[in-house]
A = this chain, B = another copy of it.
Amino acid sequence: MTGDIQFDGHGRLRHLLTIEGLPRQTLVDILDTAESFISFREREIKKVPLLRGKTVVNLFFESSTRTRTTFEIAAKRLSADVINIAVSTSSTSKGETVLDTIRNLEAMHTDLFVVRHSLSGAAYLIARYLPAHVHLINAGDGAHAHPTQALLDCFTIRQLKGGFDKLSVAIVGDILHSRVARSLIHALRILGAPDIRVVAPKTLLPTAVETLGVRPYSDMEAGLNGVDVVVMLRLQRERMRGALIPSEQEYFNLFGLTPDKLAHAKPDAIVMHPGPMNRGLEIDSAIADGPQSVILPQVTNGIAVRMAVMALILGGSPADEGRRG
């Protein structure tokens, strides 16, 4: 449904709003481009002039220092100018509508908006109103989508497991409210992962979750049995109050990732987490800091993946680097 407006008339990626409906080749192009940015960490100067003169606005209606920082660093390494706007403190408090805020920033020749919003569909709504030369990356909208997180997860999996053909992945935690889970499931299916499992208490699973192409488990040991990848989700402590889960201690006993439970996965299984972690709630520190954890490589890859999405959307690629100033 939302897939169409993600491309321009020439089939080029214009916005990144959701993973759902993207062609496999688009995902592969993003991962391949990100690959080319990874070597930058070894270079003396980590900057490329690909987006010099471009204006990137981080427009965060929901605060997230971590995610804002990853996009800010990615844009600056591409030499863009970055403007950070936390909307709670801006003129929407003066009665201006969100679309007027967007139109104004666009009139200042913003080239790319990076938008986070607590409402599902907000990124799509905003993108619909943008003129052809203005772009948008969804940095998380409600419980709907978080496409760059899914891409960095897939990048990390491909980097460490070589591909998706024979892959068995378990996603564990609050599937019901998780934009991370939703986007990752779409990405893994598009990239061809044959076995995708979701592991959660029944209260935290969407109804008819099988229609997403995943197999649900409410027993963690069965869910992790023989998998190559374990993706732990962050548990919002607010869920406690809603009685959707039992006590923190009971949740940890049943669904917290411990060495005992991880032993049911393949011996070389990797453990992922989108952060920020609740140590001792959804994940034991022995795992978070252990040899199977790839949580910090995920963060590193997140910069490269966001650079790749920005570069592709704004029309350049590292190969063009020589052409510009």
Among A77-98, those with CB < 8 Å from B are 77, 81, 83, 85, 89-91, 94-97
Q: Is A128 interfacial (CB-CB < 8 Å)?
A: no
Q: Is the CB of B275 within 8 A of A237?
A: no
In the complex, which residues of chain B have a beta carbon less than 8 angstroms from the beta carbon of A90?
65-66
Report how many copies the assembly holds: 3
Which of B76, B104, B108, B276 meets A91, CB within 8 Å?
A: B276
Q: Which residues of A, 1-54, contact B by the 8 Å Cβ criterion?
A: 41, 43-47, 52-54
User: For chain A, which range describes its interface: under 10, 10 to 19, 20 to 34, or 35 or more residues?
Assistant: 35 or more
Q: Which of B97, B107, B276 contacts A94 (CB under 8 A)? A: B276
Please, which residues of chain B bring their CB within 8 A of the CB of A109? 41, 46, 73, 300, 303
Shortest distance from the beta carbon of A309 to any chain B beta carbon, whole Å: 16
**Shortest Cβ distance from A261 into chain B, in angstroms?**
21
Contact partner of A64 (CB less than 8 A), chosen from B44, B91, B104, B299, is B91
Q: Is A103's CB within 8 Å of the partner chain B? A: yes
Q: Mark A311-325, 1 if CB is under 8 A from B, else 0.
A: 000000000000011
Verify if A100 is at the interface (C-beta below 8 Å from B).
Answer: yes
A108 to B72 Cα, complex, angstroms: 11
Give Cα A279–Cα B63 distance, bound, in whole angstroms.
27
Q: Is the CB of B104 within 8 A of A299?
A: yes
The complex places the Cα of A52 from the Cα of B49 at a distance, in Å, of 12
If A47-B53, A73-B81 touch, does A275 touch B96 (CB 8 Å cutoff)?
Answer: yes
CA gap between A89 and B77 in the complex, in Å = 24
Q: How far is the CA of A91 from the CA of B103 in the complex (A)?
A: 30
